[in-house]
Chain A
């Protein structure tokens, strides 16, 4: 399995500001994903981070609110823009090594918006 790290591990932010979350993996992977997990809830896919092209967003998530970068095969960022308290959640990245079905998750970023 891949070793995945996320920064920051947690943050407390003021409404109206933006936060960029980083995801780093120790090997090159084709597929990277960003999920949101609200307290006590399941995981909801935000978008697939595509290397070299724009991310593919799921229904209910838009690029202006959650811009994503994927500059290479080991790194991705998710920005939560113009935050409101409803954005308080855990944000997780996951990776899917090439030729496999399995996704492995990063440790998550716990975001609190005041």
Chain B
């Protein structure tokens, strides 16, 4: 089955700097890669996703890159702000046309230093 590894487990960056979170996956059948943000005491919220036919996707200060050959994908947050402090989860799935099961990484706790 699919296995998703996520690094680092904790990340502290100065406000205004960039943050990068990296994930690897094992199942070559995975073709959908969402990223969720979970603030303390709240539900996970989808912030961006990417499909295997795309190498990069950007939404304002957030971008995700995918290297399907190497089975790597990454989340990039630029110009970090205090409200970016949260736990971020990457995930992988074969997509809705298949089993649809999403497997989550272990999470990265991001702290933004003022």
Contact = CB atoms under 8 A, between A and B. Distances in A.
A19 interface: no
A106 B89 CA distance: 16
A101 B93 contact: yes
Given A92-B43, A105-B44, A107-B43, A100 B96 contact: yes
A43 B93 contact: no
Nearest to B45: A105
Contacts of A96: 96, 100
Interface string B77-114: 00000000000010001011000111111110000000
A36 B36 CA distance: 16
Contacts of A101: 32, 34, 49, 51, 93, 95-96, 100
Q: How large is the interface on B (under 10, 10 to 19, 20 to 34, 35 or more residues)?
A: 20 to 34
Interface of B: 32, 34, 36, 42-46, 49, 51, 89, 93, 95-96, 100-107
Contacts of A104: 46
A61 to B, nearest CB: 13
B104 A43 contact: yes
A44 B36 CA distance: 14
B49 A106 contact: no
Interface in A57-114: 92, 96, 98-108
Contacts of B104: 42-44
A19 B105 CA distance: 28
Given A31-B100, A103-B102, A104-B46, 4 more contacts: A41-B106, A42-B104, A44-B104, A105-B43
Most chain A CB inside 10 Å of its own CB: which residue of B42, B96, B104: B96
A40 B113 CA distance: 21
B109 to A, nearest CB: 9
A50 to B, nearest CB: 12
Contacts of B96: 31, 96, 98-101
Contacts of B51: 101
Contacts of A100: 96
